[in-house]
Amino acid sequence: MGTQPGRGLFWDMHEGRVPPPAAAETLGWELLSVDPDQGTIEVAFQASDRFTNPVGVVQGGFLAAMLDDTLGPALAATLPEGRFAPTLDLHVQFLRPAKPGRLVGRGRVVRRGSQVCFMSGELLGPDGEPVAVATATAQIRTIHPPTPATRPDQADRAVPTLRSDQSSHPGHPT
């Protein structure tokens, strides 16, 4: 689909050159397999008891985050260095309750355009049956080098910026 394994933000994280996002660590994200040529990925999550709602099943927001952290990396693994694709839309359907424990996400890039990409995937329970499915849309953007923080309390932080390679449309943030 267009990248050399080992190049780009996804691969930098995978190879330990940059730390994983805090959200991925919170979710217990683990890469099981990835095929950038096919645009597919399989990841595992560890749904802790802290993720449960009052009836003891994993709250839907955590399942949605897991699906977002499945579909996004399926696309990110195909991107060249200096590119990133934030999610524009995530549509999740919850099929059945998910209990705490290991959940497996499978994602794929359905269609990758030059700017907009479409992904789909599923989150499987320990029995291998789906607990939720999702589709997502993402926009490929260029990552610009970090800029110094402007507030004194953020002096130790560098802030990378994303920019669309397409001019803005009225009513559409870029």
**pLDDT band for position 31 (cuts 50, 70, 90):** very high
Q: What are the C-alpha distances in Å from 109 to residues 16, 153, 156?
A: 24, 40, 36
Average pLDDT over residues 141-150: 72
Ranges 10-19, 30-39, 101-110: which has the least confidence: 10-19
Q: What pTM did the predictor assign? A: 0.81
Alpha helices in 44-157 (DSSP H): 60-76
Q: How many CB atoms lie within 10 A of CB 116?
A: 14
Average pLDDT, the chain: 86
Higher pLDDT, 6 or 174: 6
- 106 has a pLDDT exceeding 80: yes
3-state secondary structure of 95: coil
- 162 has a pLDDT exceeding 70: no
**pLDDT band for position 74 (cuts 50, 70, 90):** very high
Alpha helices in 37-103 (DSSP H): 60-76
Q: What are the C-alpha distances in Å from 137 to residues 53, 80, 87?
A: 28, 18, 6
**pLDDT band for position 163 (cuts 50, 70, 90):** low
**pLDDT band for position 169 (cuts 50, 70, 90):** very low
**51 touches 59 (CB < 8 A):** yes
Residue with tokens 């979710």: 27
Burial class from Cβ neighbours inside 10 Å (0-12, 13-18, 19+) for residue 137 reads middle
